[in-house]
Chain A
Amino acid sequence: MHELSLCDDLIRQVQLLADQHHAQNIARVTVSLGTLSGVEPVLLVQAFEILKAGTAASNARLIINTVPVRIRCDHCGREADVDPNRLICPACKSLDTQLLSGSEFILSQVELFVAS
C-alpha cells in the first residue's frame, strides 16, 4: 500500500498551499494520474479518506483525472495511445519511443475556501 505514503506527501503539499493562501478549508483536490504511474486510483482514494482527517483537506473531495499512456515514435514520428505494457510504436514496431504521458502523478488543481 505505497499509496498511503504518496498520499501523505500529497496532503502535505495541499496543506502548505492552504496555509500560504490563508485558506480556511479545501474544497477539492484534483490530481492527474497516469495509468503507468504505479498508483492505483482506488487505493489512492482510500488513502485520501484516511489521511485527510484533521487537515485543511478534511472536507475535501479528491478528483482523479486518469491520463492515458501516450507515446511518440522517434523513428516514424507517429503519436499513439498505447497499453501500459506495449510501449513500442504500433505503426512501425520501433522501440525508439518517448513516453509523452501516462507515468505522472501530478497535483493539478486545488480549490480553496477563503473567508471574504
Chain B
Amino acid sequence: MCTTCGCQITSGNESQIPVEKSADGGATSVLTRLMAGNDLQADHNRMHFDQLGVLVINLMSSPGSGKTALLEATIVQGRERFRMAVIEGDLETENDALRIRAHGVQAHQITTGSACHLDAHLVHEALHKIDFSGIDVLFIENVGNLVCPASFDLGHHLNVILLSVAEGDDKPAKYPVMFRAADVMLITKTDLSPYLDEFSNERAAQNLRNLANQVPIFHLSARNGEGIDVWLDWMEEQIQLQKQHVKNRPSFRPVRQPDAGLHATRILLSPVHPVSKS
C-alpha cells in the first residue's frame, strides 16, 4: 500500500530546507516548517486511513480505567451498527488482543517499543498488518498512562479519554495536557458509583470545562451496559462524519493538532561565531 502513497517521505529527505540570508548577512532564518519524525509519520498514517475511509479513534486513560472492557461492550452491542478492528498498545502482554479476538474481531498487538506510549511509527507498522476491507472504525487502545500518550499524534482522528469513577474526579485538573485533547470524555464503571460517593460527576465535568474543553461527556458501564447506547450513537455519528470528510478532504484532525507537538515553525540560526582559541 505504501509504494504509491509516499512512505518514502522521511524526516531525512523532508529537510531540504530553503535558507534565507538576512540583509546584514548575520542571522539566518529558516522559515519552512520543520516536521518532527513522529508528526510526519502521523500525517502519513492519516492519509492511509482517509484513503481507506476508516475513522480512527485513540483510546487513552489511566491503566485499568476500562478501555478493553469498553471495546468488548462496543463489539457486543455495536456489531450490527458498524464494523471495527483494534490495535492494542499494551506492550507487555497479548491479553487485551486475546480478549478482543475472542469476540471475533481483528486485533493487532503492538509488542515492541517503549513501554509508556504508542507513536506513529509503531502504528504504521501495525496498520499494514490489518485487513481493512469492510472496516468502518479502527480503535487504537493506547498504553494506560495519562502523560506520555498525549504527546504523540498517531494519525488518528479523535481522542476518546476514559475516566473511571474509581480514580478521582480531579484527573482533568492534574493532567490538563491529556484532557484538553479529548474529543469526548467517558466516565466509566458507573455501576460502581454507589460505592464511590467521593467521585462527583459535577466536579469531573467542571475540571474538564476549566480546560475550555466543551466536548460531550458520557457516563457508562461496560459491566451492566448502562450508557453504552449513547456512546454507540455518538460513534455512528462520527463514522458518518468521517465518511463525509473523506469525500471533501482534507479530513479532520485531532483537536490538539493546530498548536501541539514538536513543530518548529521558525528556526533562527544565530550569527556564526568561530571558536577563538586564544
Interface status of A17 (Cβ within 8 A of chain B) = yes
Q: Are A86 and B151 in contact (CB under 8 A)?
A: no
Nearest CB on A from B71, distance (A): 24
Interface status of B130 (Cβ within 8 A of chain A) = no
Of B15, B152, B211, B264, which one neighbours A85 at CB under 8 angstroms?
A: B211
Interface status of A49 (Cβ within 8 A of chain B) = no
Q: Are A5 and B114 in contact (CB under 8 A)?
A: yes
- Please provide the chain A residues from 80 to 116 with a CB less than 8 Å away from any CB of chain B in the complex: 84-88, 95-97, 99, 103-116
Interface status of A64 (Cβ within 8 A of chain B) = no
Interface of A is mostly: mixed
Per-residue CB contact flags for chain B residues 99-141 toward chain A (1 = under 8 Å, else 0) read 0000000000000001011010000000000000000000000
List chain A residues, Cβ under 8 A from B260: 37-38, 103-104
Count contacts on B: residues with CB < 8 A to the other chain.
Answer: 50
With A2-B151, A105-B261 as given contacts, are A17 and B176 in contact (CB-CB < 8 Å)? no
Interface status of A4 (Cβ within 8 A of chain B) = yes
Of B147, B214, B261, B264, which one neighbours A13 at CB under 8 angstroms?
A: B264
Minimum-distance CB pairs A-B, first 5: A2-B148, A38-B177, A87-B212, A107-B264, A85-B176
Q: Which residues from chain B sit less than 8 Å from chain A, CB to CB?
A: 11, 15, 17, 19, 28, 30, 34, 36-38, 114, 116-117, 119, 147-148, 150-152, 172-174, 176-178, 180, 207, 209-214, 256, 259-270, 272-275
